[in-house]
Structure formats: structure tokens, C-alpha cells
Chain A
Amino acid sequence: MSFDIVLWLVQDGIVNGAIYALLALALLLVFAVTRAIFVPQGEFISYAALSLALLQAGKLPGTVYVLVGGGAIAALLDIAVALRDKAPGRLPRILAVYVLLPLAMAGIAWWAAPRKLDMWIQVLIVFGLVVPLGPILYRVAYRPLAGASVLVLFIISMAAHYVLTGLGLVFFGGEGLRSQAFSGAHFKIGVLNISAQSVLVVLATVLIMASLWLFFEHSIYGKALRATAINRVGARLVGIPAELSGSLALTLAAFIGAVSGVLIAPITTIYYDTGFLIGLKGFVGAILGGMGSYPLAAIGAVGVGLLESFSSFWASAFKESIVFTIIIPVLVWRSLTTRHVEDEEE
């Protein structure tokens, strides 16, 4: 194996690792705030990537139906609660968030699809379609059982994952799609031929990490999310509603998923269920980092990307197995070195 190949594999590994790092951060955030292992993270990737490819092809992405339908269910749940509490004052907000916003986004997508607008506008439309799925998913799937044990929350996650994958198959079909690259440019650095797309992936990752850092360090809502993750009881006592934190965490997760999907869409062919595998690799990264520290999770995820790229060179048939197998020694090592913490009770 020559040095050129090593460099090339490293570059490939870093580009994929950057995306896994974003997903690892999202998983860690959702886990810290809601205690749910967020399996459906990968669906946001598929939905975003496929929506972008379909918009480019001039078709209306099926995401709009999931968005409008999910929003309607969320609205019905909230309206039922509002009526039970005899609080009709909440209705306008419920309708605005869960009905009008999804309808507006669907309308924009329907209007824009045949016009094949500029790529950046299409990306914004994709964000508009995918990001609201986060709070809707929280309202429909997680909030009714928010106080449940980690195991129950995990089962909810699995259910949400299967439902969203199934809907993906219904609305996107079984074929894989790939979107156009953001730019066809290439840079030559020594022996390396780096595509502008790869540079964009890494830049976007760094930019998002920096903005997440700013959000968590300098905004009251970011601090409220951290407070909820640090001390659930303390957070309730200062009046941070658990629903707000959960909803916000899933909104951020959906945003990160949408960005990852848009970034990866021109690199790989995405099927309705591809996101799950990509999300799992982010999860492996988060596990490597100990499921507690954001920088370690990001480093772990880049490690996963590198491992994947090298194993695809040496043993491409086993590359997925190799990536997922390293979880086992890491878990054994962690279980031997970490003190067991009982499942937290409220």
C-alpha cells in the first residue's frame, strides 16, 4: 500500500467521519436531554437526501405528506390536551406550529418543485420540510411517555424508526437516488485530488459544531438544554419544561440530520433505509467517545470514518462488519473501567 493510497483513504475517512461526527453529536444531545437512544436519527438523513434529489428532478418529495400528516396527529394530541385542561388559549399556537407551518412548507415545495430553482434554495426548502419533523416526532412518539425508563424509550425509538422507514418506502419508493454535487470543482494538493464537495462537508461540519457550541454556551435556551441534561429535577424546579427541552433537542437533531443528508446526497446513492446505517455509525462514534462527551464523540466518529475507509480498502466485503464489531471490545473495556450507574429515577 503506497503513501498516496493512505492519503486518499484518510481523506475519504475524514469526509465520512465528519458526517458521522455530526450525527454522533445529535445522538448524544438527544440522549442527554431525553434519555432516548435516538434510532430515527438516520431517517432525517434519508428524508433530506431523497427530498433534495427529488426536488432537483422536478418532483414533489413525499416528505410533504409525512410532514402534514404527522403535524395533524401532533395537533390533534395537543388539542385534546388543551380541551381537557379547558385552555382554548393554546389553540392558535398549536394550529400555527403543527398545521399551518407544515401546510405552508408543503405549499412552497409544491410550488417550487417543477420550477427547479437554484440548488441553495432547494436546500433551504429541504430544511423546511425535514426540520419540523423533529418536534412533531417528539410530540407524537416521545412526549406521551417522556418519564418512562430508558428501555421503554428505546422501544419507542425502534418503533418510530420502523414507521418512518416504512413511510419512506411508501413515499420515495425502493430506488436509490443521488443528487447533483454542489460544485464540480477539484483542488490538487500534492498527490491528492480533493473535491470541492469534500471540502464543503468538512467546512459545514466545523461550522455546525461551532454554532452548536455558541448556542450551548451563550443562549439561555442552550443553557436550559444543558441544565436539563445535567439535572432533570433541578431543571423542573427552575421552571424549564421537560417538553420544551425534548422538543428543542429533537429539532436540533432533525436539523443536524437534514444537513448530513444534504451533504451526503451527492456523495453516495441514498435509499429510503440508507440513513439508518449512517446513523448507526454515528452511534458507534458516540459509544467510542463514551456517550457522554461531545468532543470525544466527534473524535470517535472520525475514527469510525477512518476505520471504515481503511477496511473498505483491505476487506471491502467486511467493511460494515468491522466497523460494528469494534463496538464489542470498546463496550467490554468500558464496562470494566466505568462504575455502573443505576438508571435514574424521577
Chain B
Amino acid sequence: MSTMLEVSDLRVYYGKVEGLHRASLKVGEGSIVTVIGPNGAGKTTLLGAIMGLLPCSGSVRYAGADLAGTSVEARVSMGLCLVPERRELFGELSVEDNLRLGAFQRIRRGERGLDADMEAVYARFPRLKERHTQLAATLSGGERQMLALGRALMAKPRLLMLDEPSLGLAPRIVREIFHIIADLRKTGVAILLVEQNARAALQVADYGYVLEPGEVALEGRSAELAENPRVAESYLGFAGKS
């Protein structure tokens, strides 16, 4: 399995404060990788830097190319997509317009088959189809997350980065979202998932990294990480099985 994304020694500064200290990670093609860790460990910063929203040092290689100096828009058209923690939807536009704008780069390139992709998104999220004329701002929390996911899928990503997709959602909706993430694997898209809900994230992922304030503290296959007593104690909410 070849490497889709390779981040090495990534450092991000907010003024003089270091938001991320030499983080390194890899995402293989078609695999699901999760980054777990406490609040303020720099998980969102990490995704922002990979997406090009934040200036950083170190290297980000995607599909074999160094992304230094590449604009956010160019990264999107290369198939790199971020679903941010705050969703960043277009509240005063309809659900359908939000989805269509997700494919903006593809429309600009004159690609066809958008209607079929729209139908595929609606098939995955029937709730969005029901509400396709509604304004995005009127949706519930779970529907907003589905719309954010759907909008990102309309860009036909090769690597989808999800920032806290379960944040603020009811448990039933969280299960639904993780079910969808697991299901996306079939489409061949690689996923980099940042989560505080470590248990659910490790269940769905192949490989995991534990980010503690500013740096990668642990990494390993998800099943092994879930067994690790330190991870279990700090992030899974119980004190080991011993």
C-alpha cells in the first residue's frame, strides 16, 4: 500500500507560541488513520497546517508531491479535503447549493457527472435529500455534519480529513456518523480522522497516533493502541484491564 500523505517534523507557531512540535505521521492510500489526544494537543492545528490554512515548517508530502507553497484551492483540486470542526457551511444557502459548491473546482474544470455524484451523496444521506431546498443554517447538528461531509465528498477527495466529526452530537447520531465513515472506506478514499471520542475512532481506524500537547506521543495499529494501558486510562475512560 503506497503512502498518500506523509507529514514529517511539522511545526506550527502562533506568534511565539508553538502550536505543534515536530509532528510526523503517514496515511496510506485507502486507509483510515486517526489522531487522538486531549483538548489543546494541536489536533486541529495539525489538520489546518496540512490543508494549507496555517503557515508551518517541516514537510507535507501528498501523493508524492511536496505541498510547500501550494494554495488551499490547489490542494482541494488535488483531492485533499478538510471537514473542519466548525463545519463552515454556507448558512444562508440551500443544502443543494452547499453540495454543488463542494464541487466548485470540478465545475471550473468542466467535469461532468455532477448530478450522479449529487444523487450518490443523497443516497448516503437521505436526510439531506429531504431537506435539499432548506437553508443550511436551519439544519440540526447532525444534519449539519452530514452536509459538511457531503459537501466534501462532492469534491471527489482522495484524502478526506475529518476534524471532530462527532463533536456536540447525540450518541445515536455519533454512531450513524461513524458508520458512514467506516462505509466510506469502500469508495477507496483515505481518511485522516481527528477525534476526542477515542474509542469510536480506534474502532473504525486501521492505525492511530496519540497527540499530546504539541507532539506525537504514541503510535500503532488501532487494535494495539486500544489495548495500551496508557491510552486506555487517558483516553478510553477506564483504568486498563489488569
- The reply to whether B104 and A220 form a contact with Cβ atoms under 8 Å apart is yes
In the bound complex, what is the Cα–Cα distance between A310 and B118 (angstroms)? 55
Indicate which residue in A223, A236, A238, A239 contacts B53 across the interface (CB closer than 8 Å). A236
The residue in B53, B73, B77, B100 that gathers the most chain A C-beta atoms within 10 A of its C-beta is B73
- A224 is an interface residue with CB less than 8 A from chain B: yes
Q: For residue B99, give the distance in angstroms from its CB to the closest CB of chain A.
A: 10
Number of interface residues of A (CB under 8 A): 17
- B107 is an interface residue with CB less than 8 A from chain A: yes
Q: Which residues of B contact A227 (CB under 8 A)?
A: 90, 93, 101
- B84 is an interface residue with CB less than 8 A from chain A: yes
- The reply to whether A239 and B91 form a contact with Cβ atoms under 8 Å apart is no
Q: Which residues of A contact B107 (CB under 8 A)?
A: 220
Number of interface residues of B (CB under 8 A): 28
In the bound complex, what is the Cα–Cα distance between A240 and B98 (angstroms)? 12
- The reply to whether B90 and A241 form a contact with Cβ atoms under 8 Å apart is no
- A230 is an interface residue with CB less than 8 A from chain B: yes
- B151 is an interface residue with CB less than 8 A from chain A: yes
Contact code string B106-130 (vs A, CB < 8 Å = 1, else 0): 0100000000000000000000000
In the bound complex, what is the Cα–Cα distance between A239 and B82 (angstroms)? 11
- The reply to whether B88 and A241 form a contact with Cβ atoms under 8 Å apart is no
In the bound complex, what is the Cα–Cα distance between A223 and B92 (angstroms)? 11
Q: For residue A345, give the distance in angstroms from its CB to the closest CB of chain B.
A: 12
Contact code string A216-239 (vs B, CB < 8 Å = 1, else 0): 000010011011001101111111
- The reply to whether A241 and B92 form a contact with Cβ atoms under 8 Å apart is no
Q: Which residues of B contact A241 (CB under 8 A)?
A: 71, 73
In the bound complex, what is the Cα–Cα distance between A236 and B54 (angstroms)? 13
In the bound complex, what is the Cα–Cα distance between A231 and B89 (angstroms)? 7
In the bound complex, what is the Cα–Cα distance between A230 and B84 (angstroms)? 16
Q: Which residues of A contact B89 (CB under 8 A)?
A: 231, 234
- A344 is an interface residue with CB less than 8 A from chain B: no
Contact code string A144-171 (vs B, CB < 8 Å = 1, else 0): 0000000000000000000000000000
- B168 is an interface residue with CB less than 8 A from chain A: no
- A85 is an interface residue with CB less than 8 A from chain B: yes
Q: Which residues of B contact A230 (CB under 8 A)?
A: 90-93
Indicate which residue in A85, A231, A239 contacts B73 across the interface (CB closer than 8 Å). A239
- The reply to whether A240 and B73 form a contact with Cβ atoms under 8 Å apart is yes
- B105 is an interface residue with CB less than 8 A from chain A: yes
- B81 is an interface residue with CB less than 8 A from chain A: yes
Contact code string B69-80 (vs A, CB < 8 Å = 1, else 0): 101110011000
In the bound complex, what is the Cα–Cα distance between A240 and B97 (angstroms)? 14
- B51 is an interface residue with CB less than 8 A from chain A: yes
Given the contacts A223-B100, A223-B101, A237 and B92 also touching, CB distance less than 8 Å: no
- The reply to whether A237 and B76 form a contact with Cβ atoms under 8 Å apart is yes
- B155 is an interface residue with CB less than 8 A from chain A: yes
Given the contacts A220-B107, A226-B92, A238 and B84 also touching, CB distance less than 8 Å: no
- B102 is an interface residue with CB less than 8 A from chain A: yes
Q: Which residues of A contact B90 (CB under 8 A)?
A: 226-227, 230-231, 234-235
- The reply to whether B81 and A237 form a contact with Cβ atoms under 8 Å apart is yes
Q: Which residues of B contact A231 (CB under 8 A)?
A: 88-91
Q: Which residues of A contact B105 (CB under 8 A)?
A: 238-239
- The reply to whether A223 and B72 form a contact with Cβ atoms under 8 Å apart is no
Indicate which residue in A85, A224, A226, A237 contacts B72 across the interface (CB closer than 8 Å). A237
In the bound complex, what is the Cα–Cα distance between A235 and B71 (angstroms)? 13
Q: Which residues of A contact B53 (CB under 8 A)?
A: 233, 236
Given the contacts A239-B77, A239-B104, A233 and B88 also touching, CB distance less than 8 Å: yes
Given the contacts A227-B90, A230-B92, A240 and B81 also touching, CB distance less than 8 Å: no
Given A220-B101, A237-B81, A238-B101, output 19 extra A-B contacts at Cβ < 8 Å: A220-B100, A223-B97, A226-B93, A227-B101, A230-B93, A231-B91, A233-B53, A233-B86, A234-B89, A236-B72, A237-B72, A237-B76, A237-B82, A238-B76, A238-B151, A239-B77, A240-B73, A240-B101, A241-B73
B interface residue numbers (CB < 8 A to A): 51, 53, 69, 71-73, 76-77, 81-82, 84, 86-93, 97, 100-102, 104-105, 107, 151, 155
A-B contact pairs, 12 of them (CB 8 A): A223-B97, A224-B101, A226-B92, A227-B90, A230-B93, A234-B88, A236-B72, A237-B81, A238-B76, A239-B104, A240-B104, A241-B73
